[in-house]
Amino acid sequence: MKSLYVIPIYFLSFLDNERPDVNIIGTWTRYTNQHLIEIFIVRDNGEFISNEFNQKNELRNIEKGTWEIKHDSIQFRFIQVITSEDSQNWKSVKASQLKSVIYKFMLNTDGNLIIGSSIYYRE
C-alpha cells in the first residue's frame, strides 16, 4: 500500500511558485479604536474561521471557509456565513449567495497581517 503525504498549504504555494515565505497560520485579532471586532483563525489545512463582534461585544457574524495565497493576494472561499443583528436571531446565508473574495495582503515589519485595509495582530 502506498503512503499518502499531506503537505501544508504554505508549502503547496511554493510548488506553484507563489509565496513560500509567508506563514499566516494562527490566531489573529482586529481592533477598531482599541475595541476587539474580530478573531480570525487561519488553519494549516487551508481552512479559516472568523468571528466578528459589534460595539457591545456581541458576536454578530461567523464566517467559515478556505483560503489560498496567490502572489500578493489572498483568496477566501466561503463555505458558511451566519449573521445576527441582535445576537439572538441568527440566520445563515444561502449557499448560492456565498462568494469568493480576493484581497491584497502582506505581513508588515511588525509581524502584523494586513488584508486589504484591515490590520490583524498575531495572538
Does position 22 have pLDDT exceeding 60, yes or no? yes
Grid cell 475595541 is found at 35
Does position 5 have pLDDT exceeding 60, yes or no? no
**Tens digit of pLDDT for each residue in 29-83?**
999 988 999 999 999 999 999 999 998 889 999 999 999 998 889 999 999 999 9
Does position 115 have pLDDT exceeding 80, yes or no? yes
Does position 122 have pLDDT exceeding 60, yes or no? yes
Whole-model pTM: value is 0.79
CA distance 73 to 91: 30
26 Ramachandran zone, left/alpha/beta (phi>0; psi -120 to 50): left
Classify 23-122 by CATH class: mainly beta
- How is residue 23 annotated by DSSP? -
CA distance 67 to 100: 9
Please give the pLDDT value at position 21: 55
Amino acid found at 63? E
- How is residue 95 annotated by DSSP? G
Domain ranges of the chain: 23-122
